[in-house]
Structure 1
C-alpha cells in the first residue's frame, strides 16, 4: 500500500506541466501548524500527515504524540495493533497519557508501550475482553504513573494492588470498575488499597461488594483522599457513625448501591448513573482525561486506510 500511494502521487506530479502552487497553510510557522494539528484526534492526525510533505514533517515531532487516545471499535485487532504501535513509536518515549478502549490484544500492546514510555503519567484501559491482561506486569515499568483507570475483567487480587502501589509511588487517582458486574467480594481488596496506597487523592470503585471493614480501611489509610465514588457497590451500612465520617472526611463522596443510597448522595451528586469512570479529576496539574463513552466517532470506510498509513515510512508530497 505504501508503494501504491507514493506511485500515484508521483505519477500525478510528473504528469503536470507545471508545479502546483503551494497552498497557503504551508507558509504558516511550524509552531502554529503544530498547535493546530495537536488538537486533532489521533486517527485524524494520521490522515492529516498525508496532506503534504510539510505536515508529514511536522507530524514526526514527538510532542504531537504525547497524548494518545485510541478506540478499537472500528478496526480488527491486527490493524489496530499496527496503529497503536505506530503512534507509540512516533512519541519517541515522550508519551505521558495513554487511553486504550475495546482492544482484545491490549496486553500485548501495553507491554510494547510500557517498554517505550517510561514517562507515562496516566493510563486508561477500558473494555478489554481478554483474560490475558496482567496490569501489574505493565505498571512495573511506569514509575511516574499518577493516574490509573481500569474498566476491565478479570479481577485483580489484593496482592496486585500492593504491587501497583510499590511500582507507582506517585499514584494519586485510581479507578477500578468490575466490567462484568455480579458484585464480587472486594473487602480485602479495599483493605489492601487503604494499606498500600496512602497517597491517593481520588478513588472510584464500581460494581463490588465492599463491607464496612473495607471502607474503614480506605478512610484510615488514605488520609489525603478528596474524592471517593462508590458506584453500584453493595454490602455497606452507612446509617451510623461511618456514614457521617465519610461525609465529614471526604470532600466529594458519592455512594450509590442497590442496598444503600443515602439522601445526601441523591442531593449532592450531579453525575449520571452511567458515568462510571469519567476521570476528569480536579487535580493540582489541572489535567483531565475524559475518556469514557466517547461513542462511535470514527468515519466509516477509513478503517483499512489508516492501517495502511502506518506502513508508510516516508512521504514525498508536492509541497
Structure 2
C-alpha cells in the first residue's frame, strides 16, 4: 500500500515565517506577484515592517517592463511608513524619486545607486541634507561629481562605508584627485572605501590615508594612476586590513570589469562627459537612452498596487 506524499499548506505557516520568506523577494516580485496570491499574503505585504529594506534591482531593461519602476518604488517607500533603512535602485531613478525617498525615510542607513543616469549632483545633494543617519552609500556608474561627495560627507557624519565606482580606463591616462580630496576632507569616519576605476593618483591616496584614519578596507582595483611601492605601499599594508591593489583580480567584482580602452583622446568628447558616459560601446545610443529625464513618455500600462 502506497501512501500519498504529505502536502504542505503554506497558509498554515506562522505569520512570522511567511513574512520572512516573502521578505527575501525583491520589491518588484512582491508588488507584481506575491501580494496577489491570497488575502493573507496581501495583508503581510502591506505591513510597513516588510518594507524596511527595499530592493529594486533589475537588469536594465526598463523600457521593456510592464510597469513603471519609479512609480512602483514610490509605492514601496510609502508602504514603509518611515521605517525604511535600506534601499537599492538599479538602472532607473530621478532626482524627484531620490528626494521622495529622503523626505519619507529620514532614518535611512543604506543607499545603493547603480547606473542611475538621471540622478544629478543637485538631486543627491538635496537628498543628503535629509539623511543624517546614512552609514553606507554605494554610487556605481552614475554621473556624480566631487561636489555631491562633499555635501554627502558634511551632511552624513555617520558614514562608514562608501563605494564610488566607475568603468576602468587605461589609455586616457587622466589624473584627478578631486574626488579623493572630497572624501578625505569630509568623511573621516570611513571604515570601508571602494574606488573601482577611479582616476586618483598617489597624492590622492596619501590624502585619503591622512583624512580617513579608521580605514579597514580599501579597494583600488583598476585605479591605474596609483603606483603602489616603497613607503606608500608600506603605509597601506600597515594601515589597511583588506587592501586590493590596482591590478588585483576582479573575479569577485559584481559588475563588468572590462577596461575601457580607446585610442581617442578625452578632448575629442564634448565637455561635461563623465566616465559613465564613456563606458558605453555605442556613444550615440547611450545618449539616446539617457536623454529622458523621467518616465512621462512611458505608454504601457503599469500594475496598480492598491
Q: TM-score range by the shorter chain?
A: 0.7 to 0.9
SS at match of 2:164: strand
Would the aligned equivalents of 2:35 and 2:41 in 1 still touch at CA under 8 Å?
Answer: yes
Per-residue CA deviations over 1:265-304 (Å, capped at 9, x if unaligned) read: x5xx6x5174469xxxxxxxxxxxxxxxxxxxxxxxxxx7
SS at match of 2:244: strand
Per-residue CA deviations over 1:92-129 (Å, capped at 9, x if unaligned) read: 111111100011x4322111111111111100001123
Count of paired positions: 250
Structure 1 residues 194 and 53 mapped into 2: Cα distance closer, same or farther (>3 Å)?
A: same
Which residues in structure 2 correspond to 1:96-115 (within 5 Å)? 96-103=85-92, 105-115=93-103
Report the TM-score, using the length of structure 2 for normalisation: 0.74
Structure 1 residues 218 and 171 mapped into 2: Cα distance closer, same or farther (>3 Å)?
A: same
Q: Which residue of 2 aligns with 1:272?
A: 251
Deviation, 1:188, is: 2.9
Deviation, 1:250, is: 0.5
Per-residue CA deviations over 1:169-214 (Å, capped at 9, x if unaligned) read: 0000001112585665431321221222110000010222212211
Which residues in structure 2 correspond to 1:234-313 (within 5 Å)? 234-256=224-246, 261=247, 266=248, 271-272=250-251, 274-275=253-254, 307-310=302-305, 313=306
Q: Which residue of 2 aligns with 1:143?
A: 132
Q: Which residue of 2 aligns with 1:216?
A: 206
Would the aligned equivalents of 1:34 and 1:64 in 2 still touch at CA under 8 Å?
Answer: yes
**Larger RCO: Structure 1 or Structure 2 (Cα < 8 Å, ≥ 6 residues apart)?**
1
Structure 1 residues 25 and 67 mapped into 2: Cα distance closer, same or farther (>3 Å)?
A: same
Report the TM-score, using the length of structure 1 for normalisation: 0.71
Q: Structure 1 CA distance, aligned partners of 2:216 and 2:228?
A: 18
Q: Structure 2 CA distance, aligned partners of 1:42 and 1:151?
A: 21
Q: Which residue of 1 aligns with 2:189?
A: 199
Q: Which residue of 1 aligns with 2:35?
A: 49
1:124 aligns to 2:109 (yes or no): no
Would the aligned equivalents of 1:230 and 1:254 in 2 still touch at CA under 8 Å?
Answer: yes
Would the aligned equivalents of 1:153 and 1:180 in 2 still touch at CA under 8 Å?
Answer: no
Q: Which residue of 2 aligns with 1:12?
A: none
What root-mean-square deviation, in Å, do the aligned CA atoms of Structure 1 and Structure 2 show? 2.6
Q: Which residue of 2 aligns with 1:317?
A: none
Would the aligned equivalents of 1:206 and 1:276 in 2 still touch at CA under 8 Å?
Answer: no
Per-residue CA deviations over 1:34-72 (Å, capped at 9, x if unaligned) read: 122212222222211111111111111111111111135
Q: Which has the larger radius of gyration?
A: 1
1:58 aligns to 2:44 (yes or no): yes
Q: Structure 2 CA distance, aligned partners of 1:155 and 1:37?
A: 34
Any unmatched runs of 5+ in structure 2? Answer: 1-7, 257-299
Any unmatched runs of 5+ in structure 1? Answer: 1-22, 278-303, 314-319
* Greater mean alpha carbon deviation, residues 32-41 or residues 45-54: 32-41
Deviation, 1:91, is: 1.0
SS at match of 2:195: strand
